[in-house]
């Protein structure tokens, strides 16, 4: 019970915890608070930049993926068209040979 009585008397005696004058303490506490706030704001800004960068990278990746898919589709179409043209050319060559053979047989 003696220990609790000491705590109560210290609180009522307005015994100071710090030895420095209040004006010095106030300035020190204010500077510490300002440093903490600045650190918090810097961390928040860095987090915002990181999120923004991640979003931009994701958008860029999606855009490049879409362009790549479009280019692949265009290449497939070009390859298909080239195959069709090659088949047409082979058919024309075959017809040309048949026509030449018929002309040679008719001329004889």
User: How confident is the model at residue 17, as a pLDDT?
Assistant: 80
Q: What is the pTM of this model?
A: 0.46
Whether residue 54 lies inside any domain: the answer is: yes
Whether residue 8 lies inside any domain: the answer is: no
Return d(Cα 29, Cα 27) in angstroms, integer.
6
Whether residue 5 lies inside any domain: the answer is: no
Whether residue 67 lies inside any domain: the answer is: yes
How many domains does one find in the chain? 1
Closest CA to 55 of 44, 47, 40: 47
Whether residue 12 lies inside any domain: the answer is: no
Whether residue 4 lies inside any domain: the answer is: no
Residue pLDDT, tens place only, 70-95: 999 999 999 999 999 999 999 999 99
> What's the token pair of residue 12?
């009522």
Give me the mean pLDDT over the 12-29 stretch: 82
* pLDDT surpassing 60 at residue 12: no
Q: What is the mean pLDDT of the chain?
A: 87
Write out the residue range of the structural domain in which residue 72 sits: 19-82
* pLDDT surpassing 60 at residue 1: no
> What's the token pair of residue 82?
């080239």
SS (H, E, C) 18-53: CCCCHHHHHHHHHHHHHHHHHHHHHHHHHHHHHHHH
* pLDDT surpassing 60 at residue 9: no
């Amino acid at each position: 019970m003696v220990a609790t009585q000491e705590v109560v008397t210290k609180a009522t005696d307005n015994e100071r915890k710090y030895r420095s004058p209040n004006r010095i303490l106030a300035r020190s506490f204010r500077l510490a608070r300002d440093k903490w706030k600045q650190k918090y704001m810097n961390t928040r800004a860095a987090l915002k930049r990181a999120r923004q960068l991640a979003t931009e990278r994701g958008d860029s990746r999606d855009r490049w993926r879409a362009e790549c898919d479009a280019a692949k589709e265009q290449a497939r179409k070009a390859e298909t068209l080239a195959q069709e043209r090659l088949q047409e050319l082979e058919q024309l060559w075959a017809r040309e040979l048949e026509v030449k053979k018929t002309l040679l047989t008719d001329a004889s």
